[in-house]
Amino acid sequence: KMVVNNMPLVYVQIIEGGLKKKINALIKNVTIAVSGSLNAPKENVRVIVSEIPKTHFGIGGKIAKELGK
């Protein structure tokens, strides 16, 4: 089994709203997936979660906030 001795860095971008309680689970699950996929120790995996304001996200040419998304 080949071991990768790197430090994977994963950026996750989500639209703001309603997920604050789920971010811990998201980080844990992404860490497990990346660790298993790259055969990297979980301790080496870094996950950064950024929330995008609904005023900075468009769908079909309209601001998501205006669409109630």
Paired tokens of 64: 């998501």
List 4, 8, 38, 44, catalytic entry: 8
Q: Has 8 been annotated as catalytic? A: yes
Q: How far apart are CA 34 and CA 45, in angstroms?
A: 7
Computed on alpha carbons and rounded to an integer, the radius of gyration of the chain in Å comes to: 16
Residue listed under structure tokens 């430090």: 7
Give the active site residues: 8
